[in-house]
Structure 1
Amino acid sequence: MTSYAFTVDAGLRDLPAADHLLRTLAAELALPEGVFGCTHLVRDDRPRVAVSLTLPSEPLLRTALERLTGAGLEVTPGTPDDLGRAVLFPGAGALTGTLTVADLLSDSAIDRVTVLGSPDEPAPDTRLVTRDHVRPQWTPSGELVLTAMPAAGDALVPFEVPDPTPCCADH
């Protein structure tokens, strides 16, 4: 299947702002459920977070590029790397509340779940408390993998927390 990707670099400095931009772009462009929207850390002389969108058709790509460049956004073809952190992906909207690992894998584009500190993958009936914030990562082998960590009650939670405390917030 052919896909069509582009990157928007709005000079963002943090992941929550990039997540918000992806959701805003998806809504404004009326993108279908099957798109992938990822964040990418750009590590150069001006560190920032860029976002990429991968669309299912060339006409949708052309329309999106016309609207975004018309709005003055910096848009480049392709993605900055193959290791993006997925915010938008098939099934993402259904990953709320508590569900089993088996449900997560069958209802979304996520290929696998790993657990910090464990060499084994969790059992399919293991409960995952999503906290309504599931951000899997693309791997070099092309898998979309959610990293989780143990939580109370023999459950798991995604490693990334929804509202992280900024570094040095109490200083």
Structure 2
Amino acid sequence: MNPRHVIGVDTEVKTLREADHLLQAVATELALPEGTFGCTHLVRGDRPRVALSFATTSHALLETVRERLTAQGYEVSQGAPDAMGRAVLYPGAVDLTGTLTVAELLSHSAIDRVVVLGTADPPPPDQRLVTRDHVRPEWREGRLVLAAMPAAGGTLVPFEVPDPTPCCADH
């Protein structure tokens, strides 16, 4: 991650949707500034769950976050749970709504690159991306990368859908 100060937060949350809501609630409650990164991390093993991480350039701010989360009963550690976090909070995230070109997405947010599933080449800068108001890039080799897929009318959409149907929901 680009910011120098990072903490990990262990949770009992089981789904990405719950983790997104918790991360956003913490950010709102603590009035975290725009440049803060907040990510989710899948934790496997005996106790599967979704952990969180917060990153910023301000050590003092991160210490405040650590103290508040510890007081709320969360286990907080130094550093992110892993290097592959899924970004929920990042610079420019709130502005990624509606339909944007790839160039607009890259210039107005911390996202470094867009990859299109099934293709080796990056999308052209003028390609339209329908955000569905849900843009969740992931950290890959120190860069924030959005996975997208082709959609109707020659547009792209983020690979992750805003409201996924749980497996076997109709059984």
TM-score bracket for the superposition, by shorter chain length:
over 0.9
Q: 1:75 aligns to what?
A: 76
| Residue of structure 2 in register with 1:11 after alignment | 12
* Alignment RMSD: 1.0
Q: How big is the shift at 1:8? A: 1.2
Correspondence list, 1:79-98, <5 A: 79-98=80-99
Residue 44 (structure 1) shift: 1.4
TM-score with structure 1 length normalisation? 0.97
Residue 162 of structure 1: aligned partner: 162
Gaps of 5+ in 2: none
Counterpart for residue 121 of structure 2: 120
Unmatched 5+ residue regions in structure 1?
A: none
Equivalent pairs, count: 170
Look up the match of 2:138.
137
Give the drift of 1:4: 1.1
Q: Is the 8 A contact 2:5 2:62 kept in 1?
A: yes
TM, length-normalised to structure 2: 0.97
SS of the residue aligned with 1:86?
strand
Between the aligned residues of both structures, percent identity stands at 67
Q: Which runs of 4+ in 1 moved over 2 A?
A: none
1:158 counterpart letter in structure 2: P
Tell me the equivalent position of 1:151.
151
State the alpha-carbon separation in 2 of the partners of residues 3 and 21 from structure 1: 23
Cα offset for 1:2? 5.6
Conserved 8 A contact 2:3-2:56? no
C-alpha distance 2-53 of structure 1, shift in aligned 2 (>3 A): closer
Give, in angstroms, the shift of residue 56 of structure 1. Answer: 1.8
Corresponding residue SS for 2:11: strand
Matched letter for residue 111 of structure 2: I
Task: Report the secondary structure of 2:114's partner residue.
Answer: strand
3-state SS of the aligned residue for 1:117? coil
Give distance in 1, aligned partners of 2:3 and 2:40. Answer: 21
